[in-house]
A and B are shown apart, each in its own frame.
Chain A
Amino acid sequence: MATILDRSHSVGGPGFNRWLVPPAALCIHLCIGQVYAFSVFNKPLAQLLCAAQAACPPAAAKVISTTPGDWTIPSLTWIFSLAIVFLGLSAAVFGRWVEAAGPRAAMFASASLFCGGLLVGGLGVSLHVLPLVFLGYGVIGGCGLGIGYISPVSTLIKWFPDRPGLATGTAIMGFGGGALIGAPLAVNLMKYYSSPTSNGVAPTMWTMAVIYFIFMLVGVFLVRVPAPGWKPAGFVASAAQALVTTRNVLVGEAIKTPQFWLLWAVLFLNVTAGIGILQQASLMVQDMFGVAVAAATGFVGLLSLFNMGGRIFWASLSDFLGRKRTYMIFFGLGAILYALIPWTKNIGSLGLFVAICCIILTMYGGGFATIPAYLRDMFGTAQVGAIHGVLLTAWSCAGVAGPVLVNYIRQHQIDNGVPKADAYSVTMYIMVALLVVGFICNYLVKPVADKYYATNLQEATV
């Protein structure tokens, strides 16, 4: 098995079609993107004991469970947070290993960890031991997320030197699309496994582990790396653009450059601002426009759709616009749109509110999907996967800071007597300020200084 997974056994031979690599990457990302849909488990997880006693409140009731010992929603939100934190940490720690071992071994490790995490998490649910769920889905599964997220990036960039944005955008689109599949799959499985004394969460998690493992294995065996020196027919690397290098910076040097930290800030600020909408979307549309809970859930689904679509749209467009200009649009247009959100409430236009939020979410997704190509432009292809892994710590930080920031501001407003419908305005204006800072960080990105580039000897030893 270990031999099959070796980088040397996964080199694409003559005639190999490089368009097989994006679906291989999608096999991984569509599965690990399930993490975005983990919230569908929150309510059932908070009702495990009352379900066992057939004593849960009606589905329409606002109270979730009054049975002593049932887990609380705030404690359950840590499962998702832990998964995102370990996504960033594992991507940073294992980035060099992913580059060295190759995508096939990395994808297999991701499948084993992510699906193993679901199995252990399901065991924690069946035994009603929350720390075991934290360990399983949060820590083990989170490591699978991180390794899986970066595993195809470097390979795709090497197969598509002419369209790196399109290639990585396709894969990272899958991470956004994972929620669209994961949420209805989990809901249907829970329905199938539910009984008068169980809401079926544990068998759902186990079944998903098996389904996802098989799905991810197809990606493991589809993926190939290009032969050394391979390039598409007719492709000539161009160094005409100032911000596109044809040389390489190794990960140890990359993190010493101001460019790396500017891009770290760019990703952090873009994600934090996006979370400002995502975190509050359901509550916002209910409080500002009085829509029903079911419709608000549909709105969140719609945002996921645009989050996914934006990943491939913006990343592909960045191949033509350039990465820096693309992020200028994210931050410039984003700041204007965030500032307009309170106004949509004032004029009572639900349609305009929905349209603005959808555009914002395309740019949130686009920010994730375009960053690998930006890194490739700045630091070359040699260790772009490992550099991307370290950069993803920005996501972990934003995943913790974003929700804390938006929830605190909203609560502070309400505690000070601001009506619920108006409590979002200040949050939106703070997001505008964050986006302006992001615009400046992106503006300051300049070509990397010569001293950081690897020599031929250094590259040969990697």
Chain B
Amino acid sequence: MTTDTTSTSGGNTAALIFAWVWVGIPLAWGVWVTIGNAARLFAK
């Protein structure tokens, strides 16, 4: 039985940051644009 922790080596940490930034930036942009459009619903 193999066990492993979620500890990281240096390269792994860089990859982890890159991976989450890679998916996070477009997702944050999409959420931002959507909230901007949704604000029109309650605009007077």
Residues of A within 8 A of B (CB): 12, 14-20, 23-24, 26-27, 30, 174, 177, 179-181, 183-184, 215, 218, 222, 226-233, 285, 291-292, 294-299, 301-302, 304-305, 350-351, 354
Contact = CB atoms under 8 A, between A and B. Distances in A.
A442 to B, nearest CB: 31
A295 B30 contact: no
A36 to B, nearest CB: 11
A17 B16 contact: yes
Give the dominant DSSP class at A's interface.
helix
B2 A231 contact: yes
A27 B26 contact: no
Interface in B3-22: 3-9, 12-13, 15-16, 19-20, 22
B6 A301 contact: no
Contact of B2 (A180, A184, A230, A295): A230
> Interface size bucket, B side?
20 to 34
A298 B2 contact: no
Interface of B: 1-9, 12-13, 15-16, 19-20, 22-23, 26-27, 29-31, 33-35, 37-43
Nearest to B30: A180
A222 B19 contact: yes
B30 A299 contact: no
A302 B23 contact: no
A409 B33 CA distance: 34
Contact of B38 (A14, A298, A350): A298
Nearest to A25: B23
Contacts of A19: 6, 16
A231 B1 contact: yes
B44 to A, nearest CB: 11
Contact of A16 (B12, B33, B35): B12
A197 B3 CA distance: 62
B8 A15 contact: yes
